[in-house]
Amino acid sequence: MDENLNLVRDLALIFISAGIITLIFKALKQPLILGYIVAGFLVGPHFGLFPNLTNPETVEQWSEIGIIFLLFALGLEFSFKKLLKVGSSALITAGTIFAGMFVTGMMVGGAMGWSHMERIFLGGMLSMSSTTIIIKAFDDLGLKGMPFTNVVFGTLVVEDLLAVILMVLLSTMAVSQQFAGGEMVMALLKLLFFLILWFVVGMYLIPTLFKRGRQVMNEEMLVILSVGLCFGMVALATAAGFSSALGAFVMGSLLAETLEGEHISHSIKNIKDLFGAIFFVSVGMMVDPAIIVQYWQPILILIIVVVIGIPLFATSGVLMAGQGLHSAVRSGFSMAQIGEFAFIIASLGKSLGVMADYIYPVVVAVSVITTFTTPYFIKLSEPFYCMLSRKMHPKLFASLSEVRASGRSQARESQWRKLIKAYLIRMIPYNVMLVAVLLASNMFLDTFAKNHFVNLAPGIINLICALVTLLVMSPLLYGMVIAAGNYKELYDSIWAGSSAAGRGPLIAMSALKIFLAVAYVVTVVSHYFKPGIGIVILIASLAAAMFILLRIFNKRSSTLESRFVENIRQKDDYQRKTAPVTTSIREKMSGHDICVESLKVSSDFRYTGRQLREIPLRRDFGVNIVKITRGKKIINIPSASEYLFPADEILVVGTLDSVSAFKKALDEDVAPAPAPTAPVEVESFTLGEDSLLTGKSLKMVDMRNSGCMLIGLERGEESFMNPEPDMIMQVGDIIWIVGSPEAIKLYK
């Protein structure tokens, strides 16, 4: 076969094997992800019964694209706002897992006789769950809409961010053999800088782009543009030294804040499933039975550590974050595996020469096996919680089940605390943008000016670069220095109510902004000119010019800021307008065990076609229906006499357990199947003199009572489809009748 067609052969082998195996697993009611892994093992290099792939390296590249689409889809469903909402819970949970598993990994590695660096790397490998595996498992099991999944996804995102820092830390420690605190801090600052920069720039540009093109953009253009933006952010993240998965997630999170976010998520689902299948098949290809047999003891030990340690520490972390026991158990059991970052850390240790060669295949085996068990652990979480509810002391169970999230108390913040928060929210993005302008000026503007203005004197080129840089920075400096919005109202309120001595911190906050603005101007000027008397005069002149520019850019800066705020709020405003009930419940009752979910009524549901008073919503399910959407008709707070029709969209409110039970009932609690009816056929025949229909019309015969229907009649050269009821049928007419064979015989 032509080498150019080897990839086609490999993809055919992957998709055919995956399709057949997943059909078998679907029939056995097993998670599809396990079918993909088994299919990968069968076509992999370690199982010789079936044809193997000819180019595994190319398939590995395709599997990387699968990871990108999986994380892109996660970002579309889990935006920056959701991350901020579960931020404290995610940080506490991820920190608990990382600290607990890192220490546990070092202890287990020491017990197995591994070296000091091997123990450190093992701790890092065991502290990261697999984002891609959990996304697919939740999707297969229909759990993506559950409230506890937000905590899981938030924790996974924080773990991925921690992994970026951990990679820098481990590589530095492997080379210098000492703790690299400075490198870790710099990696953290770099990560935060780029995340804030991407968020600020993305939230300004992307919603604006979609808003301008909304009138002419069709689904094809939307998919192409969104996928292009995804790969563009992946390229930027990779160039900045981060993982491609992080870039895909960031772009998905940005697009999730647009009005087209849900549409994009729906449109790329098939693409995500396609490339995701390649990724999970590639995971199965890494299963090597020989390695498992040879190193079964460390593999078994590490599997036990993972499936016990991660659920234990994750459950503890969620409980410490103030979530209830139910969410904690389900979150903990969902994360009982290690994933792709374990491979990366293992390969890093191997390449740096600080780990034995056999550790990498051992970690791969542990990851694949725990991936295989993930869906079963997710299913096991509910029975385990029920067992705890029976065995645990009632007071302890009630205490752990209480949701203690900060949103529940809604305690009023002091004005000073609100002011400091508003101050930081204003200062951090502006300073990140200003630093980005400085970096862009140093990296690109200098080179561009020197290459394109070769005839100008160096001093003139430097002056042009300095003026251009300051011109770009002017609206940002104005936005940072001049108080506006909520910050201005709080500042003025505290100023008016404070004594002269109490105004000191307020003056210091304003002075800091002015100092930073001057510092940026000085930095730009000193970069392009040498220090001296002239430079002092130049800085003073530019500072004066800056104040003039700030006044000129007053309107421009306000427009930039207002558009940014509008872009951030547009989706929330749209949801408040189109779904006021859902939005109000989620906002006002955050922190409570409340679940709001939109469900579709099946025509087979037992209670379809009945009035709401006939459905035991509260008694049997513990839920309420607060809205019914029927086509274009919306019924808020439906009365007890309202009927439930097939295809109705109902908004259900209740606890997580009750909504889950009702959702399950919609699918499984079906009405009894009707008795089988006689088969229906179409027959044609020619009327004779003895036929029951000869000389009669349809009105006179009333064929419907016998279960038949006349649909056509041919008389000579004329044909009559659905003839008139008063048309008299004649000898020689050819008629077509629909009905059961037994009934049709009556009219022949």
Q: What's the CATH number where 369 sits?
A: 1.20.1530.20
pLDDT category of residue 231 using cuts at 50, 70 and 90: very high
Distance CA 258, CA 271 (A): 20
Same domain, 445 and 359: no
pLDDT at 287 > cutoff 70: yes
Q: Considering only CA atoms, which of 650, 526, 519, 667 is closest in space to residue 597?
A: 650
For the chain, the 3-state helix, strand and coil shares in percent, each to the nearest 5, are: 70, 5, 25
pLDDT at 372 > cutoff 70: yes
The whole-number pLDDT of residue 156 equals 85
Does 248 fall in a domain? yes
Most confident residue range from 226-235, 465-474, 511-520, 555-564: 226-235
Same domain, 660 and 704: no
pTM: 0.72
Same domain, 345 and 457: no
pLDDT category of residue 306 using cuts at 50, 70 and 90: very high
Distance CA 533, CA 539 (A): 10
Distance CA 97, CA 313 (A): 5
Those residues with Cβ within 8 angstroms of residue 103's Cβ, 6 or more apart along the chain or in another chain:
123
The whole-number pLDDT of residue 162 equals 80
Torsions phi, psi for 386 (to 5 deg): -60, -40
pLDDT at 580 > cutoff 60: yes
pLDDT at 227 > cutoff 70: yes
Please report, for the domain that includes residue 600, its CATH number: 3.30.70.1450
Q: Looking at per-residue confidence, does 315 or 466 come out higher? A: 315
Q: What is the DSSP letter of 442?
A: I
Distance CA 45, CA 51 (A): 9
Distance CA 85, CA 571 (A): 16
Q: In total, how many domains does the chain have? A: 4
**Mean pLDDT of the region 431-440:** 86
- The residue from 525, 552, 579 where one domain ends is 552
Domain enclosing residue 292, as ranges: 3-391
Does 646 fall in a domain? yes
pLDDT category of residue 310 using cuts at 50, 70 and 90: very high
pLDDT at 398 > cutoff 90: no
The whole-number pLDDT of residue 534 equals 58
Does 567 fall in a domain? no
The whole-number pLDDT of residue 256 equals 84
Same domain, 225 and 344: yes
Does 572 fall in a domain? no
Distance CA 677, CA 474 (A): 79
Those residues with Cβ within 8 angstroms of residue 272's Cβ, 6 or more apart along the chain or in another chain:
69, 70, 72, 73
Q: Considering only CA atoms, which of 488, 486, 482 is closest in space to residue 430?
A: 482
Distance CA 543, CA 15 (A): 65
Q: Position 23: which residue type?
A: L
The whole-number pLDDT of residue 319 equals 87
Does 674 fall in a domain? no
How many Å is the Cα radius of gyration of the chain?
34
Q: Looking at per-residue confidence, does 563 or 703 come out higher? A: 703
**Mean pLDDT of the region 555-580:** 64
Same domain, 89 and 201: yes
The whole-number pLDDT of residue 437 equals 86
pLDDT category of residue 177 using cuts at 50, 70 and 90: low
Q: What is the DSSP letter of 502?
A: G
**Mean pLDDT of the region 158-183:** 69
The whole-number pLDDT of residue 412 equals 41
**Mean pLDDT of the region 112-126:** 87
pLDDT digits 0-9 by tens, 673-703:
666 667 888 988 888 888 888 888 888 887 8
**Mean pLDDT of the region 126-144:** 81
Same domain, 510 and 372: no
Same domain, 661 and 687: no
Those residues with Cβ within 8 angstroms of residue 517's Cβ, 6 or more apart along the chain or in another chain:
477, 480, 481, 546
Q: Considering only CA atoms, which of 145, 166, 306 is closest in space to residue 659?
A: 145
**Mean pLDDT of the region 65-76:** 82
Residue 649 in 3-state DSSP? strand
Does 688 fall in a domain? yes
Q: Considering only CA atoms, which of 572, 567, 578, 577 is closest in space to residue 212?
A: 567
Element (H, E) at 600: strand 595-600
Same domain, 427 and 547: yes
**Mean pLDDT of the region 483-489:** 69
Share of the chain above pLDDT 90, in %: 4
- The residue from 501, 531, 552 where one domain ends is 552
What is the token pair recorded at 400?
């752990």
pLDDT at 245 > cutoff 90: no
**Mean pLDDT of the region 322-326:** 81
- The residue from 358, 391, 424 where one domain ends is 391
Cβ contact 666:604 at 8 Å: no
Does 510 fall in a domain? yes
Cβ contact 124:348 at 8 Å: no
Classify burial at 334, counting beta carbons within 10 Å of its beta carbon; exposed 0-12, middle 13-18, buried 19 or more: buried
Q: What one-character-per-residue DSSP string does 168-218 give?
A: HHHHHHHHHSS--HHHHHHHHHHHHHHHHHHHHHHHHHHHHHHHHHTTT--
Distance CA 238, CA 226 (A): 18
Listed range (130-144, 242-256, 663-677) with the worst mean pLDDT: 663-677
The whole-number pLDDT of residue 301 equals 92
Cβ contact 295:358 at 8 Å: yes
pLDDT at 109 > cutoff 50: yes
Same domain, 309 and 457: no
Torsions phi, psi for 114 (to 5 deg): -80, 160
Q: Looking at per-residue confidence, does 114 or 46 come out higher? A: 114
The whole-number pLDDT of residue 411 equals 38
Q: Looking at per-residue confidence, does 256 or 243 come out higher? A: 256
Same domain, 13 and 37: yes
Pairing of strands 681-686, 633-636: unpaired
Distance CA 396, CA 142 (A): 31
- How much is the mean pLDDT over the chain? 79
**Mean pLDDT of the region 17-35:** 83
Query: Long-range CB contacts (< 8 A, 24+ apart) of 220-229?
Result: 222/260, 222/263, 222/264, 222/267, 223/264, 223/267, 223/268, 223/271, 226/255, 226/260, 226/264, 226/267, 226/268, 227/268, 227/271, 229/255
Distance CA 640, CA 197 (A): 52
Cβ contact 216:200 at 8 Å: no
pLDDT category of residue 309 using cuts at 50, 70 and 90: very high
pLDDT digits 0-9 by tens, 334-363:
998 887 778 778 777 777 777 887 888 888
Distance CA 466, CA 469 (A): 5
Same domain, 324 and 445: no
What CA–CA distances, in Å, run from 617 to 272, 622, 639, 645?
Answer: 37, 6, 13, 16
Same domain, 361 and 503: no
Does 568 fall in a domain? no
Most confident residue range from 2-11, 232-241, 553-562: 232-241
